[in-house]
Structure 1
Amino acid sequence: MRQQIGKQVDELDTPSLLIDLDRLEKNMREMQSLADSRGAALRPHIKTHKCGAIAQMQIECGAKGITVAKLGEAEVMADLGITDIFVATQIVGVQKLSRLDALAKRATIRLAVDSLIQIEQLFQYCTQAADVEIMIEVDTGLQRCGVEPDRVEILINKIIGKFPEIKIGGIFTHEGHVYQAVDRKQMVQIARQAQQTMVELSQRIRSRWGIASEVSVGCTLALQSAGIQSGITEIRPGTYVFYDATHAAYFGDTSRCAATIVGTVISKSGDKRAVADVGAKAMTIDMRASGLLATKSFGSVYRHEEVIIRKLSDEHAIMVPGTPFAIGERIEIIPNHICPTVNLYDTAYGIRNGKVEVVFPIHARGRNQ
């Protein structure tokens, strides 16, 4: 793919994933500056970009290690020399824990837990269990994984009682329920309450067991809306590198959106509609129906925000009205949800001044196990 370097964007085949390098670098600097200003470590979640080169850029910008969702992502990043890794999803079963065992021999691993059963399996199937630092997930309102705040100390007591050799690194949460907020005020309230819950819990843990608990939160818009409270020691945002149309709905503009899909208008029915070659196999089909972050379209057509992408089929984006477009015209679409979109591509093209400056392999594409 190096032969693409130096090409104009219009020379790339479509659909292709483009990364605006100026915006990417600015987004990285801004989030690192936010973390530094509050004395918190930045451990970015790489599930957004799944790219070793971009992860290395984040580390060079000041990030402390990375966060991953899957063991497959962790294995790929370790292969690329990035070895300070937080696996922020619970891992169970002999297949995965055998892989974790091998990974822990060549990387420093933190692991998410929210049950004693996970610890029992860790020690049953992983010979390196004593070297794996655990992070207890706290459910601060998302109602996905995690222990309810008033039960965290009960779990810690059980873990220490049965596995005194265990390394408890701290607590973490994903306050992703901010995306359900109806307005900015509610978003700030949700984010601040989640952080306050975590800080107060860490103080009780320190008082009871003397554990200098890491206090880790992780949500781009929670951090953008509410900042970082005193007592938060680590942040784990992911989408801040690229942002997407959902985030543009929050900011009120697309100036931070670094990732777009370039497509070609392949059909047109008068002014009624135009069709581009960017379907559900090239871009996420996510939409948010209500609330502060509601999206009225399956993505935002860059520089044509008045156009609605009414429908995505496998290979087609149906846009209304078709007035602004001509058959053969190139367009760029900002996806509603960038994380699953990136996972559809083998490569992304880093663009500066309209030319391909770098080709990014999506190293962890499809690493969903």
Structure 2
Amino acid sequence: MRRDDLDTPALVVDLDVMEDNIRRLQSYCDEHGIRLRPHIKTHKVPAIAHMQIRAGARGIACQKLGEAEVFAATGFDDIQIPYNIVGRPKLERLARLMRQCHLTVAADSLMTVRGLAWAAAQAGQPLDVIIELEGDIERAGVHTPEEAVTLARAIDEAPELRYRGVMIYPSNPESRPRLRAFLDALAAAGLPAEIVSGGGTGAAYHSHEIPELTEIRVGTYVYNDWSTVKHGWCTLEQCAQKVICTVVSRPTPDRAIIDGGSKTFSSDGGLPMGHIIEYPEAAIYRMNEEHGYVDISRCARKPEVGERVTVIPNHACAVSNLHDVIYGLRGDRVEVIWPILARGKVQ
């Protein structure tokens, strides 16, 4: 099968570019003695995660239990879930999953810790726990070093749990003083962090500037996307994930419509809503569910109805969750078709 044989919209990955992306970050981590734990939420494809492990990665990260269940069933034994697992249904699933693979999970509250202890008791084996620290984006995580010490002590004193360390997101260099304050407080309390887990594709190649980090959880690097290009974290040529679309309408001389909308690309990332490789002057400025609106007023040559275009999405992770399969291209040849097995696993 060739690239032009694919019906559109078609989610594709340039295998040569993806393999280079995997090698590049792995080489960086190896050089600096940092453990790379790929975050599979970007691709959700076990076959790609196996490629990352073969390249030298150690373990994987899954954002939700549903993802971890899929990857445990396909042979992965070292899985981190950097997310608060809350509620009886999830804790029952966690207990079952603990019997299949080695898990490390995160917590930022005593309520979460109590639930994890219950799940570990049901599983009949101890559960490794890291504390989530609040990062620069002020998302989840304990807010003060004192709260971290209290939580670490509760984990350490729970016979069903093993306190292993901390995680922070994003782990950009500016976060080091804050991270250092947490680590110093934990060490002073007799609870030093064995694991110091950072994260974020934008921070990945600055990880050596935080020598306290023992590992990084990074996802988008495997594909990259238009957002990582706009932030200066990669080049256009390092974007592996693309969506092939067809121009289905030219209502005016300056507007084209493609057959990919928000159900193909999501609505993440602001404007423009992706980058059209063949028409870099064009701008995807609006999306309905099945329509992408393209401003082609600045294009010297303008696309015609029936023409196929290649779009680099704004947010690779969100796009992966919207498609059943991804086509692996080697040049113009379809070398492999991977089902996105963890698609929709948001529970």
- Give the structure-1-normalised TM-score: 0.88
Distance 1:112 1:138 in 2: 10
Distance 2:241 2:48 in 1: 13
Structure 2: which amino acid aligns with 1:197? R
Runs of 4+ in 1 over 4 A off after TM superposition: 225-228
- State the shift of 1:275 in Å: 0.9
Tell me if structure 2 keeps the 8 A contact 1:41–1:63. Answer: yes
Task: Say whether 1:140 aligns with 2:141.
Answer: no
- State the shift of 1:212 in Å: 4.8
Tell me if structure 1 keeps the 8 A contact 2:243–2:310. Answer: yes
Q: 1:22 to 1:88 in 2, by over 3 A?
A: same
Tell me if structure 1 keeps the 8 A contact 2:207–2:213. Answer: no
Distance 1:86 1:321 in 2: 45
**RMSD of Structure 2 on Structure 1 (CA):** 1.8
Tell me if structure 2 keeps the 8 A contact 1:123–1:129. Answer: no
Which residue of 4, 12, 19 corresponds with 1:18? 12
Distance 1:43 1:200 in 2: 24
Tell me if structure 2 keeps the 8 A contact 1:206–1:213. Answer: no
Which residue of 255, 260, 274 corresponds with 1:299? 274
Which residue of 73, 77, 83 corresponds with 1:89? 83
Task: Say whether 1:154 aligns with 2:129.
Answer: no
Structure 2: which amino acid aligns with 1:337? H
Structure 1: which amino acid aligns with 2:198? V
Tell me if structure 1 keeps the 8 A contact 2:156–2:162. Answer: no
- State the shift of 1:259 in Å: 0.4
Distance 1:159 1:66 in 2: 23
Q: Which residue of 1 aligns with 2:246?
A: 264
Task: Say whether 1:349 aligns with 2:344.
Answer: no
Identity of aligned residues (%): 36
Q: 1:225 to 1:303 in 2, by over 3 A?
A: farther
Alignment of 1:235-246 (within 5 A): 235-246=216-227
- State the shift of 1:196 in Å: 4.1
Query: Structure 1: 5+ residue runs without aligned partners?
Result: 1-6, 177-190, 289-295
- State the shift of 1:143 in Å: 1.4
Tell me if structure 1 keeps the 8 A contact 2:277–2:309. Answer: yes
- State the shift of 1:174 in Å: 1.1
Distance 1:347 1:273 in 2: 30
Task: Say whether 1:38 aligns with 2:32.
Answer: yes
- State the shift of 1:145 in Å: 0.8
Superposed CA offset, 1:137-191 (max 9, x none): 0002221110014221122233334x15520111001118xxxxxxxxxxxxxx1
Q: Which residue of 2 aligns with 1:287?
A: 269
Distance 2:178 2:17 in 1: 33
Which residue of 214, 234, 249 corresponds with 2:230? 249
Which residue of 314, 322, 344 corresponds with 1:336? 314
Tell me if structure 2 keeps the 8 A contact 1:175–1:217. Answer: yes
Distance 1:125 1:164 in 2: 12
Tell me if structure 1 keeps the 8 A contact 2:223–2:239. Answer: yes
Task: Say whether 1:308 aligns with 2:314.
Answer: no
Greater CA drift, 107-116 or 117-126: 117-126
Give secondary structure in 1 for the equivalent of 2:49.
Answer: helix
Give secondary structure in 2 for the equivalent of 1:350.
Answer: strand
Q: Which residue of 2 aligns with 1:193?
A: 174
Greater CA drift, 197-206 or 8-17: 197-206
Distance 2:125 2:183 in 1: 22
Task: Say whether 1:75 aligns with 2:75.
Answer: no
- State the shift of 1:83 in Å: 1.5
Greater CA drift, 276-285 or 322-331: 322-331
Task: Say whether 1:275 aligns with 2:262.
Answer: no
Distance 1:137 1:164 in 2: 20
Q: 1:202 to 1:164 in 2, by over 3 A?
A: farther
Structure 2: which amino acid aligns with 1:168? Y
Superposed CA offset, 1:101-128 (max 9, x none): 0100010000110011112122234423
Structure 2: which amino acid aligns with 1:315? E
Greater CA drift, 151-160 or 307-316: 151-160
Distance 2:278 2:23 in 1: 25
Q: Which residue of 1 aligns with 2:123?
A: 128
- State the shift of 1:269 in Å: 2.7
Count of aligned pairs between the two proteins: 341
Distance 1:83 1:43 in 2: 13
Q: Which residue of 1 aligns with 2:198?
A: 217
Tell me if structure 2 keeps the 8 A contact 1:217–1:234. Answer: yes
- State the shift of 1:192 in Å: 1.0
- State the shift of 1:35 in Å: 1.1
